[in-house]
Structure 1
Amino acid sequence: MHSKLMVGCFLGSLMAFSGQALANEVIGGDLAFFCKTTNNKEIFVRQLGNTVVYSFGKPGAKPDIVLQRRFDQLPERFWTGVGSSISSYLVIPNGDYSYVLGVHVNRNSEEHEASFNLPVEKSGTEIATLQCDPKFVFDNRANVNLPW
């Protein structure tokens, strides 16, 4: 049973990152963040020079959304200093819509576990929130120079 579980985890990881290879060919840049959402979509955030590239779509397919913004086009959003988590946000504007990557680190636990959510806003009002499946998150923000 244990070996079946290990094989299942390996195959799941392989499938999750197969879409990454396709998206890297299409978009390029240094991968800062990847997650597979709980509704089976993939989100990639890359740094390409002084720009951020955000892509969203089905695994293994051409992305549904690809947004590229210069650092100076990104609105700032700061943690308020309240609550049990230290939060950081990357906001990608697209007309009336904004795609937000929220990273929340539990500052009260010894493990300082992180959680990730992806609100979608229209005219500043949250209209949907996607959740990252914690089994399929690659957080490489510390190794790129994104403004968050």
Structure 2
Amino acid sequence: MKSYILPFAALFVSTVSFAFPQCAKPSQTVFHCTTTKGKIIEVCDSGKTIDYAFGKPDVAPEIIVKAPRQSASTYQWQGIGRTISYAVDVPNGKTTYSVYWAFEKPMEENDEPEPEGGVAVLANGKTLATVTCDPKKEIVQRIEGIDLRPTPED
């Protein structure tokens, strides 16, 4: 009986060590949200790399990308217009994970802006999929001001 307990315990520990959140110290969370289908989108600044992870909570992520910092980029709102938006683009070969956060400035004084976020999966300049964050759950956003090169405009 004891021989079954030890392998099971080892499996449990290894699974938990790769579960969300991925932004273990000294990495810093740049973005984190729960999608409308209950999965996690997360971007971490690990210094030399910008790390993207996607998947179900409490298990190993379905996708993990550790892009060299110099290959990642960012879009920063320029201060013009009602829509305030930021993005971090994490490349993986011909695929780019563009993690974004945005909200509309309120038109009326009492309006509460509802931020939105998610990830657009791009390949060869075309959007393959967009996964959105659940607006009823917290979105952690620290993209504003991140020290990355600007995303090239098409």
Contact 2:86–2:143 at 8 Å: present in 1 too? Answer: no
Shift in CA distance, 129/80, structure 1 to aligned 2, threshold 3 Å: farther
Contact 1:85–1:108 at 8 Å: present in 2 too? Answer: no
CA distance, structure 2, for counterparts of residue 27 and residue 36 of structure 1: 15
| 1:126 and 2:127 aligned | yes
Contact 1:47–1:145 at 8 Å: present in 2 too? Answer: no
CA distance, structure 1, for counterparts of residue 145 and residue 19 of structure 2: 21
Aligned residue in 1 for 2:11: none
CA distance, structure 1, for counterparts of residue 144 and residue 84 of structure 2: 19
- State percent identity of aligned pairs: 29
After superposition, where does 1:1-148 map in structure 2 within 5 Å?
22-24=19-21, 28=24, 29-77=27-75, 84-109=82-107, 110=109, 111-141=112-142, 145-147=146-148
Shift in CA distance, 77/54, structure 1 to aligned 2, threshold 3 Å: same
1:133 is paired with a residue whose SS is coil
Q: CA RMSD in A?
A: 3.0
Paired residue type of 1:137:
E
The alignment of Structure 1 onto Structure 2 pairs a total of residues equal to: 128
CA distance, structure 2, for counterparts of residue 45 and residue 146 of structure 1: 14
Contact 2:30–2:44 at 8 Å: present in 1 too? Answer: yes
Pick which of 138-147 and 43-52 moved more.
138-147
CA distance, structure 2, for counterparts of residue 138 and residue 77 of structure 1: 18
Contact 2:89–2:96 at 8 Å: present in 1 too? Answer: yes
So what's the TM-score if we normalise by structure 2?
A: 0.68
Pick which of 110-119 and 62-71 moved more.
110-119
Deviation of the 1:48 alpha carbon: 1.1
So what's the TM-score if we normalise by structure 1?
A: 0.70
Aligned residue in 1 for 2:6: none
Greater C-alpha Rg: 2
1:72 is paired with a residue whose SS is helix
Higher helix share: 1
CA distance, structure 2, for counterparts of residue 142 and residue 122 of structure 1: 22
Paired residue type of 2:139:
F
Deviation of the 1:56 alpha carbon: 0.7
Deviation of the 1:136 alpha carbon: 2.6
Deviation of the 1:105 alpha carbon: 2.1
Shift in CA distance, 34/75, structure 1 to aligned 2, threshold 3 Å: closer
Deviation of the 1:131 alpha carbon: 0.8
